[in-house]
Amino acid sequence: MSKIDENIGRVLFSEEQIRNRVLEIGKRISEDYKDKEPLMIGILKGSAVFMSDLLRAIDIPCRIAFLTARSYGLNTTSSGKVNMDEDIERALGTKVEGEHIIIVEDILDTALTLSTVCEKIRELKPASLKVCTLMDKQVQRSIDFKADYKCFDVENEFVVGYGVDYAENYRNLPYIGVLKPEIYSK
């Protein structure tokens, strides 16, 4: 067992479960967008691992870009404020107007991050806007918000791995696990 594995209480989704689900969602996106060429926008940093697998599960022409948005910092609860790139099109390196946008996230929790990002993207007049999240923690929602695509629903547990961090660590776990409470309550 590695140094990071030993801080995991239990595995929530194995590498195989993630692989299969990401393939299913990639197939759905490929069908839904078969006559379009979507621009997928990953929200950094959490979406990096999911984006790289989802992208390869899509078999239609598509493009990618990334935006940085943070609300948690090194804490386990949201700061209530989303820090994001001011000039979105400059950060993306491409225009948004007239594009079919799919926002790619690792986790939808209170929905503060995604509702803020979507509001800013909408101001730039995309042709359409959808959201794809790896995990959906519906019990924590403080804003009414629904993802268009999601891989997994999760309970109110502290999940890490497959891009999701605790204080910037654990993103490199290949599976999704629940962190032992003694790690974050120290």
Q: For ligand PRP, what does the binding mask look like between residues 65 and 84, x meaning CB under 6 A?
A: ----xxxx-----x------
138 makes contact with ligand PRP (CB under 6 A): no
CB-based contact 89:107 (threshold 8 Å): no
Grouping H, G, I as helix, E, B as strand and the rest as coil, residue 63 is strand
Taking the C-alpha atoms of residue 21 and residue 24, their distance in angstroms, rounded to an integer, is 5
Count of residues that interact with ligand PRP, criterion CB under 6 A? 19
109 is catalytic: yes
For 82, counting Cβ atoms within 10 Å of its Cβ (0-12 exposed, 13-18 middle, 19+ buried), the class is middle
113 makes contact with ligand PRP (CB under 6 A): yes
In whole angstroms, the minimum distance from the beta carbon of 111 to ligand PRP comes to 5
CB-based contact 8:177 (threshold 8 Å): yes
133 makes contact with ligand PRP (CB under 6 A): no
111 makes contact with ligand PRP (CB under 6 A): yes
CB-based contact 165:45 (threshold 8 Å): yes
| Residue ranges in 5-24 that form contacts with ligand PRP under rule CB under 6 A | none
In whole angstroms, the minimum distance from the beta carbon of 107 to ligand PRP comes to 5
CB-based contact 43:105 (threshold 8 Å): yes
CB-based contact 10:175 (threshold 8 Å): no
Total count of residues recorded for the chain: 186
In whole angstroms, the minimum distance from the beta carbon of 36 to ligand PRP comes to 25
Residue nearest to ligand PRP (CB): 46
Among 19, 45, 120, 180, binds ligand PRP (CB under 6 A): 45
| Residue ranges in 46-65 that form contacts with ligand PRP under rule CB under 6 A | 46
Q: Which are the catalytic amino acids?
A: 109
